[in-house]
Structure 1
Amino acid sequence: MGSSNKALLNFLSGITFVVLWASASSATKIGLHSVQPLVLSIPRFILASALMLGIAHLFMKQSLPKTKLAWKKIAIYGFLNVGLYLGLYVVAMKEVSAGLGSLFIAINPVLIMLISTIWFRQPLKSVTVISFFLCMAGMLIAAYPLLDGSHASPLGLGLLLLSNISYSAGAIYFSKQNWDGMHILTINGWQTLFGCLYLLPFAIYFYQPTANVFDFGFIGAVVWLAIPASIIASLCWMSLLRDNPTKASAWLFLCPIAGFIIASVIMKEPLTWYTLAGVVLVIIGLYIVQRMKSARN
């Protein structure tokens, strides 16, 4: 492949990743207009895991995890990365705007850096602390005018923060494990299914028949979240990382901007100067962390 064609492919992959990844919050809000949070999550995880495992084991002929230790690793990863993270996230999205949901997701690189430093008892660098507080300040500023209306609540913001801490812990756990050459679709398929199983008892316990309408909004949200916003976006991201991790990280800066634009257009959520100021602070915090990671490499 020529350099110009490769550059075009990377550009299209980056744009696709940003749009699909940023659209997840708005798709979640649309689904939540029809059903309860966990009722939205369970079918999404079943569909996504079935597709990934079908491709991995039926078409690619990948083998099943071979040892109890491998299954244990997948189960732990599924608890952190799907059960706890996405379980808390979808409940939080009942309380906050789609734009804020996208903004919180964008700070994961900062949380990963901070948690990794604490987890492995490394010296806490000032740039890590500064980037973290910039991101936190940005999110609070963006959320401030929304607290008076129906677009945000302290409970929702707290759940969003906890969910992203779980995601960051899962990402660190994943990176530190020896997966013995297991294919990424095998890992993701089974960990998504495990996450679904963790959430299923809660979905059954809290299920209220009158609170759920299984209409086109519900079906569309499930399909969009399972395929474009999860599988396709992840494949684009992995393609970008494989080509150039440093350049790939630059696309993360566009995700919060795209998230607020999509939420404004589709969900009619308000855009204010507080939104702009909050997004700018989050992007600066992300930039500091990405510069530090690039310097390490």
Structure 2
Amino acid sequence: MPATLPWHIHYYIMARSKVIYHVMALLTAMVWAVTFVSSKILLSFGIQPSEIFFLRFLLAYIAIIPFAPKRLWCKNVKHEMLMALLGITGGSAYFLFENTALQFTSAGNVCLLVSSTPLLIALLSIWMGRGEKLTRRLVLGSIVAFAGVALVVINDWTHAQLKFAGDILALLAALMWAFYQHLTKHAYAHYSAIFITRKVFAYGLLSIIIYFLFFPPTISLGVFSHPTVIVNLAFLGIIASCACFLAWNLVIGNIGSVASSNYLYLQPLIAASVSAVVLGEPVTWVMIIGMVLIIAGVYWSERQ
């Protein structure tokens, strides 16, 4: 019996072992695309954007406790402040912008504009001097993607200024996530993914509680008598936040960030399709053209 397997058999076994992670990446991208629709359904019950975020992260925090390390605090105050920034940029600020945007414009539009995040991350890296280079490919990709963003935003401005406001909020959400990605790189150098995830949930909750001191919640307990509300909250908190955060960390660790990010490009298409079926939101030619331009521009710039 040979000491090592022939190269083609070894390659086949390795490829088969990675299939599960590609499936996980696809399922996670699909779940995250549906969250835009799920949040919009909760908004229709009169639950405020801040309240949706609080309930979502509260469930996620409770669900992650059995799997998280027993350690509560970081190694020093500087790292603890970093975790607080992660909780704000990737938690409270991001979801406040995203959920509020859903009040003004369609779920498909919000997901489409948020999908420009990878491009914002690359441009932010250049601006902050993090090793990224301003290549011709990045410039052309940026122009194409921002043309798609401009098409969607200008179309909403000419039809309804409230939709335009929603588009701006969606872009602010994308910017928050871009900052979050940059900060996460520093955190991963010192702590495990599950420790960081739990801290993000914790500081996201703490920051939204401070927000509630100035803008108190108005949610009625009667809203929890609706099965639709319970199902969507459980979906957002336990599946979309806790399970998918953990799954995504496994995906990146096994197939890499480049391969995994390819699945996220499917989100606008999934979100637009689901919102059309579930919410009856129209899918216009402007949205389709904008979607093609944004995804093509982001994909082109990312393939450097």
The offset of 1:107, in angstroms, is 1.3
Matched AA of 1:138: G
Give the structure 2 partner of residue 242 of structure 1.
253
The percent of aligned pairs where both chains have the same amino acid is 22
After superposition, give the CA deviation of every residue in 1:259-295 in whole Å (9 maximum; x if it has no partner). Answer: 2111112211111222221111011112112211xxx
Q: 1:212 to 1:96 in 2, by over 3 A?
A: farther
Name the CA distance, whole Å, in 1 between partners of 2:283 and 2:164: 20
Residue 263 (structure 1) aligned to one of 275, 280, 285: 275
8 Å CA contact 1:110–1:289 kept in 2: the answer is yes
1:173 equivalent to 2:173? Answer no
Which of 111, 115, 126 lines up with 1:106 in the alignment? 115
What is the rounded CA distance, in whole Å, between the counterparts of 2:219 and 2:262 in structure 1? 44
TM-score after normalising by structure 1? 0.86
**Structure 2: segments with no counterpart, 5+ residues:** 1-11
Q: Is the 8 A contact 1:37 1:91 kept in 2?
A: yes
CA offset digits 1:180-232 (Å, max 9, x no partner): 2x221111112221112112233352433579833333322221111222223
**Structure 1 range deviating more: 184-193 or 129-138:** 129-138
**AA paired with 2:253?**
R
Within the candidate set 233, 238, 248, 1:227 is matched to 238
Alignment correspondent of 1:82? 91
- Per the alignment, residue 146 of structure 2 pairs with 136
Name the TM-score, length of structure 2 as normaliser: 0.84
Could you say if the C-alpha distance between residues 7 and 191 of structure 1 is closer, same or farther in structure 2, counting changes exceeding 3 Å?
closer
**Alignment-derived partner of residue 39 in structure 1:** 51
Say if 2:106 is the partner of 1:97. yes
Contact kept? 1:26, 1:98, Cα under 8 Å: yes
Matches within 5 A, 1:1-297: 2-3=13-14, 5-34=16-45, 35-57=47-69, 61=70, 64-120=73-129, 124-142=134-152, 153-177=163-187, 179-180=189-190, 182-203=191-212, 205-208=215-218, 213-214=223-224, 215-245=226-256, 246-292=258-304
Q: 1:119, CA displacement in angstroms?
A: 1.4
Cα distance, 1:117 vs structure 2:
0.6
SS in 1 for 2:41: helix
What's the Cα RMSD here?
2.7
User: 2: distance between equivalents of 1:233 and 1:207?
Assistant: 27
Q: 2: distance between equivalents of 1:5 and 1:141? A: 42
What code does the residue aligned with 1:252 have?
A: L
Q: Deviation at 1:43?
A: 1.2
Larger radius of gyration: 2
1:295 aligned partner: none
- Counterpart code for 1:48: A
- The amino acid across from 1:285 in the alignment is G
1:74–1:266 Cα change, 3 Å: same
More deviation, 91-100/66-75: 66-75
Cα 1:233/1:144, change in 2 over 3 Å: farther
Q: Please give the secondary structure, in 2, of the residue aligned with 1:269.
A: coil
Contact 1:109 1:289 in 2 (8 A): no
C-alpha contact (below 8 Å) 2:29/2:264 kept by paired residues: yes
Q: In terms of mean alpha carbon deviation, does 282-291 or 244-253 score higher?
A: 244-253
CA contact (8 A) 2:138 2:302 kept: no
Counterpart amino acid of residue 53 in structure 2: S
Paired letter, 1:36 = Q
Q: Distance in 1 between matches of 2:55 and 2:274?
A: 24
Amino acid in the other structure paired with 2:185: S
